[in-house]
């Protein structure tokens, strides 16, 4: 059955409209009208979340696990309708959305199991030492507790896994924090149908309605009001550096500053070491091109630059990359704005002195095609703008003249989500020289792979030093993401009857 959006905001369990509206911009099908949440409606959602926190924060891990699994069930029950409206709004292939839906429900179930295991609680107990000299020690217990209502901003490039019921929402609910989601205007209908799945799961598990709300709108006041609301105690964001920095500043300027956990992308450099290119130049070039163009380059882990040592092996790599990229046809991008920004970014990079265009394209309207540029390490180092992300399938080859220049590039990098080493055994000494620097630059380091494709598991880190993210100690993917929405509380000389259940039962 097809899903027909109401075009309303979900606030405290009720679908609510406003006088102001915006129209979706689907790739196919007729545009739909969606209400822009008013400041009062955002206020109501935040107040409802605060009211729900009183009881939701006291629920058992078993109860929250049941909620997360129920949300996954409700999403799966709407699977075909989600795919239909998602492909219409975003232009993403049905298979991609089906896979992303599986990742979304998998994340929810993973967090359900994670909180049942209880490791994230980091429970500690230092028993009383009444006879210790010169001073006795009190009984001390510590456990992680939820921080309060969380605001989540949906991402443009992952309408399911990083959006309404994505990793930020899943980890916050798992922690015991109500969530208010600001839906992304690129796919408001997809946001609405997933919100309806969450609403149904909340009703089925008898949780407070204010545990989840969805506010929509393409107006600045929606996000600003949400971030500045005193009931909100943390924010999760996936998006551009410009948008993330603006929200980060709002969080810091509040009377009560709150943590802002943003993932804002990076250029994800790949260091092609000489032994690897001598053995596998063609395969590496083809693999890089495939990763670069996956999803029309609209991944935050897109490997935007390849660093090589000049020579015949580098020439072979560039030729293989160029041939592979030339065979990629234009594809639909997520929005007109993203497509326009990509074309402008390609022209801006191409216009920098010392940059050579090896492959260009003329994408039309909402489509994007690969670009391949080349420059020297010296020129890259002299032009910091070449280290900025262009969201889309733009690749840049940076030719270094020596291992020392490769290291200089590593040292000049801003914070990254990933850094990759393509190597053979003969490259181990060179990799050892690079590694101490790369460890400081990125949250995830790869060998002989490509960074597109982020596994959802216990050990994943999807974050990094600024500007890749605003908090290098956090991740937005994997079970460690729950740490963003809990804080340690110590209980001194507490009787068991007053302790949180997660302490009193252990």
Measure the CA–CA gap between 43 and 199, rounded to whole angstroms: 19
Measure the CA–CA gap between 303 and 419, rounded to whole angstroms: 9
Answer yes or no: are the C-beta atoms of 504 and 193 closer than 8 Å: no
Contacts of residue 283, Cβ cutoff 8 Å, sequence gap at least 6: 320
Whether 374 is a known active-site residue: answer no
CA 108, chain centre distance (Å): 15
Torsion angle, alpha carbons of 361, 364, 367, 372, to 10: 10
Whether 300 is a known active-site residue: answer yes
Torsion angle, alpha carbons of 429, 431, 436, 442, to 10: -170
Q: Pick the catalytic residue: 191, 300, 346, 419?
A: 300
Bridge partner residues of 487 (DSSP): 145
DSSP collapsed to 3 states, 67-86 = HHHHHHHHHHHCHHHHHHHH
Cis link prior to 221 (omega < 30° from 0)?
Answer: no
Residue with tokens 């506010």: 215
Nearest to 167 by CA among 97, 106, 95: 106
Measure the CA–CA gap between 185 and 89, rounded to whole angstroms: 10
Q: What is the number of residues in the chain? A: 506
Contacts of residue 133, Cβ cutoff 8 Å, sequence gap at least 6: none
Q: In what order do the strands lie in the sheet with 371-376?
A: 356-359, 371-376, 394-400, 305-309, 270-272, 416-422, 442-447
Give the SS3 label for residue 332. strand
CA 232, chain centre distance (Å): 20
Answer yes or no: are the C-beta atoms of 59 and 215 closer than 8 Å: no
Measure the CA–CA gap between 81 and 464, rounded to whole angstroms: 36
Measure the CA–CA gap between 191 and 184, rounded to whole angstroms: 7
Nearest to 36 by CA among 5, 4, 7, 6: 7
Q: In what order do the strands lie in the sheet with 486-492?
A: 124-126, 140-146, 486-492
Q: Pick the catalytic residue: 263, 374, 389, 405?
A: 263
What is the helix (H) or strand (E) element at residue 188, kind and residue range? helix 188-204
Answer yes or no: are the C-beta atoms of 144 and 480 closer than 8 Å: no
Is the sign of the CA dihedral 192, 239, 237, 120 positive or negative? Answer: positive
Q: Active-site residue numbers?
A: 263, 300
């Amino acid at each position: 059955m097809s899903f027909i959006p109401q075009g309303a905001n979900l606030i405290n369990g009720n679908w609510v409209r406003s006088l102001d509206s915006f129209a979706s911009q689907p790739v196919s099908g007729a545009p739909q009208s969606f209400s822009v949440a008013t400041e009062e409606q955002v206020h109501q959602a935040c107040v409802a979340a605060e009211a729900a926190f009183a009881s939701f924060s006291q629920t058992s891990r078993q109860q929250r696990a049941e909620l997360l699994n129920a949300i996954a069930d409700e999403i799966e029950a709407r699977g075909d309708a989600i795919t239909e409206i998602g492909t219409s709004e975003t232009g993403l292939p049905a298979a991609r959305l089906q896979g992303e839906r599986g990742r979304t429900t998998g994340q929810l179930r993973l967090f359900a199991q994670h909180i049942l295991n209880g490791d994230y609680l980091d429970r500690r107990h230092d028993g009383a030492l009444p006879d210790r000299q010169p001073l006795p020690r009190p009984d001390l217990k510590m456990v992680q507790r939820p921080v309060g209502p969380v605001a989540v901003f949906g991402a443009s490039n992952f309408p399911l896994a990083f959006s309404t019921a994505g990793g930020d929402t899943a980890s916050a609910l798992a922690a015991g924090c109500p969530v208010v989601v600001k839906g992304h205007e690129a796919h408001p209908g997809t946001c609405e149908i997933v919100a309806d799945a969450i609403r149904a799961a909340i009703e089925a598990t008898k949780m407070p309605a204010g545990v989840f709300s969805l506010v929509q709108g393409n107006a600045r006041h929606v996000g600003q009001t949400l971030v500045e609301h005193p009931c909100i105690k943390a924010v999760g964001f996936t998006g551009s550096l410009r948008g993330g920095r603006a929200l980060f500043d709002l969080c810091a300027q509040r009377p009560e500053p709150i943590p802002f956990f943003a993932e804002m992308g990076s250029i994800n450099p790949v260091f092609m070491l000489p032994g690897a290119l001598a053995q596998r130049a063609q395969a590496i070039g083809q693999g890089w091109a495939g990763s670069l163009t996956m999803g029309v380059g609209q991944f935050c882990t897109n490997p935007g630059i390849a660093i090589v040592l000049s020579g015949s092996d580098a020439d072979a790599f560039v030729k293989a990359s160029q041939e592979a990229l030339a065979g990629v046809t234009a594809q639909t991008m997520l929005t007109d704005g993203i497509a326009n920004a990509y074309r402008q970014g390609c022209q801006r990079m191409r216009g920098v002195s010392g940059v050579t265009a090896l492959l260009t394209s003329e994408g039309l309207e909402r489509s994007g095609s690969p670009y391949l540029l080349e420059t020297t390490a010296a020129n890259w180092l002299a032009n910091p703008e070449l280290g900025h992300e262009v969201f889309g399938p733009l690749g840049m080859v940076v030719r270094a003249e020596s291992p020392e220049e490769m290291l200089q590039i590593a040292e000049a990098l801003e914070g990254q989500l990933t850094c990759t080493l393509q190597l053979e055994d003969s490259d181990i000494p060179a990799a050892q020289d690079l590694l101490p620097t790369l460890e400081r630059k990125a949250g995830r380091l790869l060998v002989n792979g490509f960074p597109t494709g982020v596994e959802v598991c216990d050990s994943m880190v999807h974050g990094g030093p600024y500007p890749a993210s605003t908090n290098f100690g956090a991740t937005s993917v994997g079970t460690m993401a729950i740490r963003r929405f809990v804080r340690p509380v110590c209980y001194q000389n507490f009787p068991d009857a007053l302790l949180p259940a997660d302490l009193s039962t252990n």
